[in-house]
Chains A and B, each alone.
Chain A
Amino acid sequence: MQIFEYNGSALVAMVGKNCFAIASDRRLGVQLQTIATDFQRISKIHDRLFLGLSGLATDAQTLYQRLVFRHKLYQLREERDMKPETFANLVSAILYEKRFGPYFCQPVIAGLGDEDKPFICTMDSIGAKELAKDFVVAGTASESLYGACESMFKDDMEPEELFETISQALLSSVDRDCLSGWGGHVYLVTPTEVKERILKGRMD
Chain B
Amino acid sequence: MSNSVIEVPPKGGFSFDLCKRNEMLAKKGVNPPSFRKTGTTIVGLVFQDGVILGADTRATEGPIVCDKNCEKIHYMAPNIYCCGAGTAADTEAVTDMVSSQLQLHRYHTGRESRVVTALTLLKRHLFNYQGYVSAALVLGGVDVTGPHLHTIYPHGSTDTLPFATMGSGSLAAMAVFESKYKEGLTRNEGIELVTEAICSGIFNDLGSGSNVDVCVITKGGKEYLRNHLQPNPRTYTNSKGYSFPKKTEVLLTKIIPLKEKVEIIEGGDAMEE
Seen from chain A, the residues whose Cβ lies within 8 Å of a Cβ on chain B are 1-4, 6, 47-48, 55, 66, 69-70, 73, 92, 95-104, 123-130, 132, 142-143, 146, 151-152, 154, 163-165, 167-168, 171, 183, 191-200
A1 touches B90 (CB 8 A): no
Q: Is there a chain A Cβ closer than 8 Å to B187's Cβ?
A: no
Of the A-B pairs whose beta carbons lie under 8 Å apart in the complex, a sample of 15, sorted by A's number, is A3-B33, A48-B258, A69-B7, A70-B9, A97-B15, A126-B87, A129-B92, A142-B64, A154-B241, A165-B242, A193-B256, A194-B255, A194-B258, A195-B254, A196-B255
Q: Is there a chain A Cβ closer than 8 Å to B32's Cβ?
A: yes
A101 touches B22 (CB 8 A): yes
Q: Is there a chain A Cβ closer than 8 Å to B267's Cβ?
A: no
Q: Which residue from chain B places its CB closest to the CB of A106 in the assembled complex?
A: B33
Mask for B235-273, Cβ within 8 A of A = 1, else 0?
Answer: 000100110100111111111111100000000000000
Q: How far is the CA of A75 from the CA of B18 in the complex (A)?
A: 28
A61 CB, nearest partner CB in chain B, Å = 14
B251 touches A198 (CB 8 A): yes
Q: With contacts A130-B70, A132-B67, A197-B250 known, is A124 near B18, CB below 8 A?
A: no
B35 touches A128 (CB 8 A): yes
Interface Cβ pair total, 8 Å cutoff: 140
Q: Is there a chain A Cβ closer than 8 Å to B31's Cβ?
A: yes
Residue tally, chain B, CB below 8 Å to A: 52
**In the complex, which residues of chain B have a beta carbon less than 8 angstroms from the beta carbon of A4?**
33
Seen from chain B, the residues whose Cβ lies within 8 Å of a Cβ on chain A are 7, 9-10, 13-22, 25, 29-33, 35-36, 59, 61, 64, 66-67, 70, 87-90, 92-93, 132-133, 238, 241-242, 244, 247-259
Q: How far is the CA of A151 from the CA of B237 in the complex (A)?
A: 8
Q: Which residue from chain B places its CB closest to the CB of A154 in the assembled complex?
A: B241
Q: With contacts A101-B16, A198-B252 known, is A124 near B25, CB below 8 A?
A: no
SS of A interface (majority) = mixed
Q: With contacts A96-B89, A154-B241 known, is A101 near B30, CB below 8 A?
A: no
B64 touches A146 (CB 8 A): yes
Q: How far is the CA of A101 from the CA of B21 in the complex (A)?
A: 8
Report the 8 A-B pairs with minimum CB-CB distance, sorted nearest first: A101-B19, A128-B88, A128-B89, A101-B18, A200-B249, A124-B36, A167-B248, A126-B89
**In the complex, which residues of chain A have a beta carbon less than 8 angstroms from the beta carbon of B18?**
98, 101-103
B73 CB, nearest partner CB in chain A, Å = 15
Q: With contacts A101-B19, A183-B251 known, is A130 near B89, CB below 8 A?
A: no
A115 CB, nearest partner CB in chain B, Å = 14
Q: How far is the CA of A130 from the CA of B66 in the complex (A)?
A: 8
**In the complex, which residues of chain B have a beta carbon less than 8 angstroms from the beta carbon of A168?**
242, 244, 248
B9 touches A97 (CB 8 A): no
Q: Which residue from chain B places its CB closest to the CB of A201 in the assembled complex?
A: B249
A193 touches B248 (CB 8 A): no
Q: How far is the CA of A129 from the CA of B13 in the complex (A)?
A: 19
Q: How far is the CA of A83 from the CA of B133 in the complex (A)?
A: 29
**In the complex, which residues of chain A have a beta carbon less than 8 angstroms from the beta carbon of B256?**
193-196
Q: How far is the CA of A196 from the CA of B251 in the complex (A)?
A: 11
B6 CB, nearest partner CB in chain A, Å = 10
Q: With contacts A99-B89, A128-B92, A130-B36 known, is A164 near B248, CB below 8 A?
A: yes
